[in-house]
Amino acid sequence: MAKEKTTFTCNACGGTSPRWLGKCPGCGAWNALVETVAESASGGKNRLSQPQGYAGLANAQPVTPLSAIEAQDVARTPSGIEELDRVLGGGVVEGGVVLIGGDPGIGKSTLLLQAMDALHRLGLPTLYVTGEESGAQVALRSRRLGLDHSQVNVLAEIQLEKILATLEATQPAVVVIDSIQTVYSDQLSSAPGSVAQVRECAAHLTRAAKTTGITIILVGHVTKDGALAGPRVLEHMVDTVLYFEGDTHSNFRLVRAIKNRFGAVNEIGVFAMTEKGLKGVTNPSAIFLSQHSEPVPGSCVLVTLEGTRPMLVEIQALVDQGGPAARRLSVGLDRDRLAMLLAVLNRHAGVVCADQDVFVNAVGGVRINEPAADLAVMLAITSSLRGKALPKGFIAFGEVGLAGEVRPAPRGQERLKEAAKLGFTMAVVPKANAPKKAIPGLTIHAVERVDEAMNIVRGMG
Ligand SMILES: Nc1ncnc2c1ncn2[C@@H]1O[C@H](COP(=O)(O)OP(=O)(O)OP(=O)(O)O)[C@@H](O)[C@H]1O
Ligand SMILES: [Mg+2]
């Protein structure tokens, strides 16, 4: 195939250069020039900037009022893997593009192979394009997963043009590209995996999905700090972005929807990794609790809300004598927020940790983003500092503000009911979340300020 002319576009200012330069001549940004295929239609000169108007360039197009456009509900096919369907917003959507990212070895290929097989059994023609493994490796995995007679088609290919031609010829309904970082286009001279290649290939595949109605699922690598590798624009381009989370040392894996044009975000799917692949966990409420026979200092159970489901997660804290520079580290929680909470504890509750190292951890490799975790984090820290365990059957949730106020968490009733259902007996919650009607078996302490919460806990033991 003949090579089209390429040019280099600045990610920061949009300026172009015929050559790659370390520094953009337009805005001076470093390392911002990215190779792109040059548009040939403009004849080398941008006619839009001419003052004669646009009529000579193109014909005006008819416009339509929204009410006159026939709008059909998107056609969804549930894969039958309930936890995956939940994060997708009900199933795979015709013409939808899904990007799924996650740490190496977390189970992306496993889940997608299982999903492809399930969809194939439902009568959808599927294609699994593998760029990272050989066809034999994929076949081996399918045998291990017990999918011995799987009819999923496999294509071991990394050249975009060949992949697109195969899609055109075989007309599958759902395609997995494992992974987008291995795919390269002949049109660009940069290496597979480079920002330019990933962007260009994803754009072509997205266009193909929209014009043909094929559902395309792209697997994306993540960088060391957990973000999807490649250009951020990839996340804008696709309809749905899913992230695999979880500790590779534990069996549980979470799939979280970060963006979804066809469903709710922040919904999570919970899976357990078994020898036969990923199995959905339909009732995940209490899997992120460690099994202490007696309460231990530095531990507080939080009721968090993931998408539509309340879940109980143990927050652990360790406060220990620090060196000259005290450390603040967190796993599964935001470190900046931890620093803020320590300042609030100091100022509004008189709990001083200035010369102490503070470590906090959300058990089970789960990542907690919601501010409603604040109160539980603070209670775990004070419990560790005092060396006194919180009472058995204790839970907490609530957002804490800089003025020391405890703000309500969304859907407090559901959280409390879930805790009661799992046998928890005592709760410290924001005043606005206190239920009007008592919840059987649960003693609720409603608080408006952080110091009130600390006093209640101090009075307990
Ligand atoms: N024989 C086996 N028995 C049980 N579990 C296995 C076996 N082989 C692999 N696994 C599990 O499958 C995981 C690998 O899953 P998978 O290849 O789907 O990950 P991935 O996210 O696609 O990784 P990569 O980023 O390398 O492509 C391993 O981490 C391991 O937990
Ligand atoms: Mg893989």
For residue range 319-366, list pLDDT tens digits in order: 999 888 889 999 999 999 999 999 999 999 999 998 999 999 998 878
Average pLDDT of the segment spanning 432-436: 92
What is the residue with the minimal CA distance to atom 3 of ligand 1? 275
Which residue type does 412 have? G
Distance 331 CA to ligand 1 centre (A): 23
What atom in ligand 1 is closest to the CA of residue 102? 21
Residue 254 near residue 244 (C-beta atoms within 8 A): yes
Average pLDDT of the segment spanning 161-166: 96
What is the residue with the minimal CA distance to atom 11 of ligand 1? 107
CA–CA separation, 399 and 98 (whole Å) = 33
- Ligand 1 pocket, mutate which of 109, 221, 278 (most atoms under 8 A from CB): 109
pLDDT band at 291 (very low <50, low <70, confident <90, very high): confident
**Domains of the chain and any CATH numbers:** 1-51 (no CATH), 79-282 (3.40.50.300), 286-460 (3.30.230.10)
pTM as predicted: 0.77
**Nearest ligand by distance to the CA of 249:** 1
CA atoms within 13 A on the CB side of 112: 30
Predicted pLDDT at 292:
77
Residues having CB within 6 Å of any atom of ligand 1: 102, 104-110, 132, 144, 273, 275
Predicted pLDDT at 324:
83
pLDDT band at 252 (very low <50, low <70, confident <90, very high): confident
Predicted pLDDT at 422:
87
Predicted pLDDT at 39:
54
Residue 84 CA to chain centroid, in angstroms? 13
**Nearest ligand by distance to the CA of 128:** 2
The candidate with the shortest Cα–Cα distance to 188, out of 204, 208, 175, 176, is 204
Question: In this predicted model, which residue has the larger pLDDT, 162 or 50?
Answer: 162
Distance 130 CA to ligand 2 centre (A): 9
CA–CA separation, 201 and 247 (whole Å) = 31
Strands annotated E in 66-123:
76-77, 92-93, 97-101
Q: Is the pLDDT of residue 48 over 70?
A: no
Distance 204 CA to ligand 1 centre (A): 29
Predicted pLDDT at 231:
62
Predicted pLDDT at 1:
45
What atom in ligand 1 is closest to the CA of residue 108? 21
What atom in ligand 1 is closest to the CA of residue 144? 1
Over its C-alpha atoms, the chain yields an Rg (Å, rounded) of 26
CA–CA separation, 294 and 278 (whole Å) = 32
CA–CA separation, 457 and 454 (whole Å) = 5
Predicted pLDDT at 371:
95
Lowest mean pLDDT among 220-229, 284-293, 327-336: 220-229
